[in-house]
């Protein structure tokens, strides 16, 4: 189904907000290298671990792709490794110097590496939510006496709240990183005894935990959790990251640690599809899933991109077996 000209024009007009170029590493007061690059949230070297002929499988997340899929159906497609999980939110110099410990060294999930993973995930979340708020605000005329468009007013208000909370988390994480107080960023690391098949990186505000308990009310002041499903030593590793001072985030992470180990891989996969925009998978893993299982994951992606979606308390509870990777270690 083609996109009507009016909707196409709208989509083209708003795509520019999600290509804003700005270096978010201003906290350390060093000069930027000037050129803003398309920084990868998941490094290319990681993506190559699950790529086939330089391609991975994703549910497209661009505004144009989502607009199309909302008129047809959500589906997974192959894209090139270089096109996935990029954002214009760091200059070349800062991206190179700040993230060298997680780009140029093996991932051992040290305190420093966890802090930098959290930093980058929060930066990506802030960048996306701020641009979403500015995009919605461009459709509103606050000086007009006419009623505002409810849809854009709703997006503007809630995206504004999310980016303000992400800004606080980003500023705090930057300060801790500059001061090398890496242990003030905590985390949970679950190592699986299986090769990587799904990768994800991002940050989100959890509403419910894995035991269907409310973590926080999104109408109140909220905290963020970072999620990183990556590879180390040829095996899949899940890392949840959080600011140690955030009690809600700590409750969410402890709830995962309390789950049965044979459920953890599936819980990690469904959490990624439920909350993390930058999620991808290998062609072989996706192709081996049975149709009902693929449909369940795509339904999560569909709902996550709907303004009408209201998560139930059981949104992260174990339901389907998406993966059977044994847990080798958790700390």
**pLDDT at 228 > cutoff 80:** yes
Instruction: Taking each helix axis as running N to C, give the angle between helix 111-137 and helix 150-178, from 0 to 180 degrees, rounded to the nearest 10.
Output: 150
Instruction: Choose between 39 and 183: higher pLDDT.
Output: 183
How far apart are the C-alpha atoms of 260 and 37, rounded to whole Å? 42
**Contact assessment for residue 183 and residue 190, using Cβ atoms and an 8 Å cutoff:** no
pLDDT in tens, 246-285: 999 999 999 999 999 999 999 999 999 999 989 999 999 9
**pLDDT at 200 > cutoff 70:** yes
Average pLDDT over residues 28-52: 83
Q: Residue 3 — pLDDT band, cuts 50, 70, 90?
A: very low
pLDDT of residue 329: 96
**pLDDT at 14 > cutoff 90:** no
Q: Which of 95-104, 219-228, 299-308 has the lowest mean pLDDT?
A: 299-308
pLDDT of residue 161: 93
Which percentage of the chain shows pLDDT scores above 70?
86
pLDDT of residue 242: 98
* Residue-averaged pLDDT of the chain: 88
160 three-state secondary structure = helix
Total-model pTM: 0.91
Average pLDDT over residues 89-105: 90
3-state secondary structure 231-297: EECCEEEEEEEEECCCHHHHHHHHHHHCCCHHHHHHHHHHHHHHHCCEEEECHHHHHHCCHHHHHHH
pLDDT of residue 1: 46
How far apart are the C-alpha atoms of 60 and 11, rounded to whole Å? 15
**pLDDT at 204 > cutoff 80:** yes
Dihedral (C-alpha) 282, 284, 286, 290: value to the nearest 10 degrees?
A: -170
pLDDT in tens, 119-149: 999 999 999 888 888 877 877 766 565 556 7
CA angle, residues 131, 25, 206, in degrees to nearest 5: 55
Q: List CB contacts of 240: < 8 A, sequence separation 6 or more.
A: 187, 188, 225, 226, 227, 228, 252, 253, 256
Q: What phi and psi, each to the nearest 5 degrees, are found at residue 230? A: -130, -165
Q: State the residue for tokens 């803003």.
A: 36
pLDDT in tens, 312-322: 999 999 999 99
Kindly give the residue spans of alpha helices, DSSP state H, lying in 99-234.
Answer: 100-103, 111-137, 150-178
Q: Residue 8 — pLDDT band, cuts 50, 70, 90?
A: very low
Which percentage of the chain shows pLDDT scores above 90?
61
Q: Residue 63 — pLDDT band, cuts 50, 70, 90?
A: low
Q: Which of 114-118, 156-160, 177-181 has the lowest mean pLDDT?
A: 156-160
pLDDT of residue 70: 63
């Amino acid at each position: 189904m083609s996109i009507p000209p009016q909707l196409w024009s709208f989509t083209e007009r708003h795509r520019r907000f999600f290509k804003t170029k700005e270096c978010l590493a201003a906290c350390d007061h060093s000069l930027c290298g000037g050129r803003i690059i398309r920084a990868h949230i998941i490094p290319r070297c990681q993506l190559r671990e699950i790529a086939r002929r330089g391609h991975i499988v994703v549910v497209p997340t661009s505004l144009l792709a989502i607009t199309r899929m909302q008129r047809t159906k959500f589906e997974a497609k192959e894209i090139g490794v270089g096109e996935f999980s990029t954002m214009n939110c760091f200059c070349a110099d800062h991206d190179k110097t700040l993230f060298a410990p997680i780009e140029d060294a093996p991932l051992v999930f040290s305190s420093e590496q966890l802090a930098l993973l959290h930093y980058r995930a929060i930066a990506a979340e802030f960048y996306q939510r701020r641009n979403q708020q500015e995009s919605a605000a461009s459709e509103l005329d606050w000086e007009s006496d006419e009623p505002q468009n409810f849809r854009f007013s709703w997006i503007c208000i809630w995206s504004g709240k999310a980016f303000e909370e992400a800004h606080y988390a980003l500023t705090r994480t930057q300060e801790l990183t500059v001061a090398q107080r890496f242990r003030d960023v905590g985390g949970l690391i679950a190592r699986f005894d299986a090769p990587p098949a799904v990768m994800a990186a991002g940050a989100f505000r959890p509403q419910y935990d894995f035991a269907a308990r409310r973590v926080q009310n999104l109408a109140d002041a909220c905290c963020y959790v970072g999620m990183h499903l990556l590879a180390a030593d040829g095996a899949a590793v899940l890392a949840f990251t959080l600011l140690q001072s955030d009690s809600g985030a700590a409750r969410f992470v402890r709830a995962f640690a309390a789950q049965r180990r044979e459920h953890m891989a599936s819980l990690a996969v469904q959490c990624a599809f439920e909350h993390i925009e930058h999620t991808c998978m290998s062609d072989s893993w996706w192709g081996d899933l049975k149709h009902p299982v693929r449909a369940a994951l795509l339904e999560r992606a569909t709902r996550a991109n709907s303004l009408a979606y209201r998560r139930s308390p059981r949104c992260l509870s174990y339901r389907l077996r998406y993966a059977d990777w044994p847990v080798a270690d958790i700390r």
